[in-house]
Structure 1
Amino acid sequence: MTERSHYTASELLAVMSARLLHDGQIVFAGVGIPLLAATLAQRLHAPGLTILFEGGVVGPFVVPGELPPSTNEQRCTRRANMVMPITDVLLLLQRGYVDVGFMGGAQIDRFGNLNSSFIGDPDDPKTRLPGTGGGNDISSLTQMIVAMKHEKRRFVSEVDFITSPGFISGGDSRAQSGLISGGMYRVVTDLAVLGFDKDTREMCVLGLHPGVSAEEVQDNTGFDLHIPSDVPRTQPPESNELAVLRELDPDRLYTAN
């Protein structure tokens, strides 16, 4: 548990992310925090929300205590609305049927670009990462929500490689690059909720979590953040949100820390 309250950082990420989702949306989610957040939203305030898996499952039925370890795992298909080829899932994206995409990465920069390819010099990287998968398609065509721990090594001025584009180099550079839809919507961390300035497209703080100072957020960020002097506080997770979350993940596979 965190020292700030009676919930873990991962539970905080799931709850804050769930609050950003709305009834009727189609959400591209992966396993872990994204799936927990989307299912939590379904249970509490968005019963008409549809979850879409990259593996081809539309509307998976999440059994409490039996969270799938992968979007390609067979238990994802049980009682699902539909199962389709992966290529058809990408066609749904390209046709504009998907509203929200959940993403993550090893690095994110001030314009919301994500790196999940490698750390360091491309000719001699320090660390090789999983790569794109469908990340580029998702970030190019949907409104993006990123949920990740807030660390200086992750929040960098410029990512080593753009695996999944945010607002590229700011301003209208995303549209000028041919990406006329979607974009980075929110970044949810264990310290704050962040958005992007509508003109410069640079990251800014929209809300500080309980017990977190503006200085703490800036100290854990590798570039200057705009933090308004009157920045509001987010509401801490409520007991019913935590109860549903813990019912979904009773073994704390994804929410222990």
Structure 2
Amino acid sequence: MTTDLATPPADTKPYTKSQLLTISASRVLEDGQIVFAGIGITLLAATLAQRTHAPGLTILFEGGVIGPFIQPGELPPSTNEQRCTRRANMLVPITDVLLLLQRGYVDIGFMGGAQIDRYGNLNSSYIGDPDMPKTRLPGTGGGNDIASLAEIIVATKHEKRRFVEKVDFVTSPGFIDGGDSRARCGLPYGGVKKVVTDLALLGFDPDTKLMRIDALQPGVTAEEVQDNTGFDLVIPDDVPIAEAPTATELAILENLDPERLYTH
């Protein structure tokens, strides 16, 4: 397998794009938050945050696990796998976990999708014509619930085929059509807090809700980000550069995923 290497600054340890994505996503999380996490990069990001700057962060799994402790080197392949329950605070029915979400107890939901548009809407249902799609995708699971009722962080590789003018299907709502359309659709809370990619950290204009560049990953230009996006981004005049992954963050990540199952 070919390693997908990023181009780190000369004075930092080499890292892959997946490691960069995981570390960047972990930094967006805050201590004390309750976070819905999936499997792979999202779980690694939440676990890394627990071991660095957010020791009081609580992980939830859609399957009904509250507050697990993930064992290094034993990452679960599914949210329904027994390794998800290690040292958990509670094991409850899935309906009870979603009830916590509906009551507003969840701070952040980690999301992904095959497509994302300029307003942060996500598609994980199908690509192409709904009557005869080119590709059928896994569907929503609890994604629509999470995106509708909590703030979300989207972690994804930055590719033009993912960042599209308009998603083929809104599986999980972002800011709908921009402006106050999310609230007008009956979703007064939540929205997309940040889109984290291997090229940039992306936010949204507070008024129009159009996607904008908040920071560039090390060695990346705004032009490169725009070239890999299928719509016009809001680009401020002075875009900061995000901090490169530290040796400590990379060491913890290597310990969590020594075989690089998710960070190759």
**TM-score (ref. length: structure 2):** 0.96
Q: Who is 1:121 aligned against? A: 129
Q: Deviations over 1:176-227 (max 9, x none)?
A: 0000111111000000000000000010000001110111101100000111
SS at match of 1:215: helix
Q: Who is 2:186 aligned against? A: 178
Distance 1:56 1:192 in 2: 33
| One-letter amino acid of the counterpart of residue 177, structure 1 | C
Q: Is 1:248 equivalent to 2:256 in the alignment?
A: yes
* C-alpha displacement of 1:16: 0.6
* C-alpha displacement of 1:101: 0.3
Q: Who is 2:19 aligned against? A: 11
Of 196, 199, 218, the residue aligned with 1:210 is 218
| One-letter amino acid of the counterpart of residue 217, structure 2 | H
| Maintained 8 Å contact 2:23/2:48 | yes
Q: Who is 2:207 aligned against? A: 199
Q: Who is 2:102 aligned against? A: 94
Distance 1:3 1:86 in 2: 38
Please list, as runs of the form range in 1=range in 2, the aligned pairs for 1:26-105 lying within 5 A after superposition: 26-105=34-113
Q: Deviations over 1:64-98 (max 9, x none)?
A: 00000001001211211110001111101000000
Q: Who is 1:145 aligned against? A: 153
Distance 1:210 1:188 in 2: 13
State percent identity of aligned pairs: 74
Q: Who is 2:227 aligned against? A: 219
| Maintained 8 Å contact 2:6/2:17 | no
* C-alpha displacement of 1:3: 4.6
Q: Who is 2:11 aligned against? A: none
**TM-score (ref. length: structure 1):** 0.98
Distance 1:236 1:30 in 2: 25
Q: Is 1:229 equivalent to 2:237 in the alignment?
A: yes
Q: Deviations over 1:16-70 (max 9, x none)?
A: 1111111110000001111111111101111110000001101111100000000
Distance 1:26 1:96 in 2: 10
| One-letter amino acid of the counterpart of residue 175, structure 1 | A
Would you say how many aligned residue pairs link Structure 1 and Structure 2? 256
Q: Which runs of 5+ in 2 are unaligned?
A: 9-13
| One-letter amino acid of the counterpart of residue 113, structure 2 | G
Of 123, 136, 152, the residue aligned with 2:144 is 136
Q: Is 1:112 equivalent to 2:120 in the alignment?
A: yes
Distance 2:67 2:261 in 1: 22
SS at match of 1:19: helix
SS at match of 2:46: helix
Q: Which runs of 5+ in 1 are unaligned?
A: none
Distance 2:44 2:251 in 1: 12
Alignment RMSD: 0.7
Distance 2:6 2:122 in 1: 29
SS at match of 1:16: helix
* C-alpha displacement of 1:229: 2.4
